[in-house]
Amino acid sequence: ALGSNRCAVYEQGPGSDTFTRRVLHQSAGGSPSDLPERWPDDALPSLRALLHTDEVVVEHLSDPLLDGATRSWLEDCGEMTRLSVPLSFKGRPLGIMVLGETDAERRFTAAELDLAKALGEQAAAAVQDVRMRRSLQEQAITDGLTGLYNHRFFYRRLGDEVARTQRYLRPLSILMIDIDDFKQFNDS
C-alpha cells in the first residue's frame, strides 16, 4: 500500500523476549536472508521502546544522530530508510511492522505515516485474532489442569491415523495403558 521495497511483521512472543518474523514481502532483488527471522527484543532498544508507544518511527541511514546499533542494523539489512510501526491491541504490545527502503532514502508524507499507522492497527488485530484462535484450539484439545490431550483430540487423531492406514495399506496398533493411582498424580 505504501510502495516500500520491503515489509516485515515481527511478532513478540507472549511473555517472551524474542521477536519472530511472521510475514515478509519484498520487491524483486532483495534477499530474505538480509532480515533476521528472530531477534531478542534488546537487540535494538529503540524498537523495544517503540512497542510501548503508538508512534511510528522513521530512521535514515544518513542521519548523523542515528545510534550505532540502529545504524549497524540498517546496514546489515541493506536498508537506507526504515519505517517502524508498533503493533498493539487494546494497549498490549504484540510486535512491530517494519517497512524498509533498500534503493534510496525516502521521506514519508504525513498521509503515508497515517496510512502506515492504520495498517499497523489492522495487522495487530489480525495477530490478536490468530493468537485467540490458537488459544481456543489448544483449549479445545487439552486438559486445563494437566495440559495433556483430551478425549476430543484422541478421536480426531485416531480418525487421522485410521485414514492414513487405509490410504497406505498399513497396519494400525493401539496400546492402552492403565496407570495405577493416576488420580493422585493428576490431583497434585
Instruction: Give the tens place of pLDDT for each residue, 110-144.
Output: 999 999 999 999 999 998 999 899 889 999 999 88
Residue 160: band (very low, low, confident or very high) from pLDDT cuts 50, 70, 90: very high
**Cell numbers for 37:** 527471522
- What is the model's pLDDT at position 69? 81
Query: In this predicted model, which residue has the larger pLDDT, 158 or 21?
Result: 158
Q: Percentage helix, strand, coil, to 5, in the chain?
A: 40, 25, 35
How far apart are the C-alpha atoms of 82 and 169, rounded to whole Å? 55
Mean pLDDT of 155-167: 95
Query: In this predicted model, which residue has the larger pLDDT, 115 or 148?
Result: 115
Least confident interval from 19-28, 46-55, 164-173 = 46-55
Residue 101: CA atoms inside 13 Å, Cβ hemisphere, count? 18
- What is the model's pLDDT at position 12? 83
Model confidence pLDDT, tens digit, residues 8-42: 888 887 776 778 888 888 886 655 556 667 666 56
How far apart are the C-alpha atoms of 170 and 154, rounded to whole Å? 20
Write the CB contacts of 55 (distance below 8 Å, at least 6 apart in sequence): 86
Query: In this predicted model, which residue has the larger pLDDT, 42 or 145?
Result: 145
- What is the model's pLDDT at position 41? 56
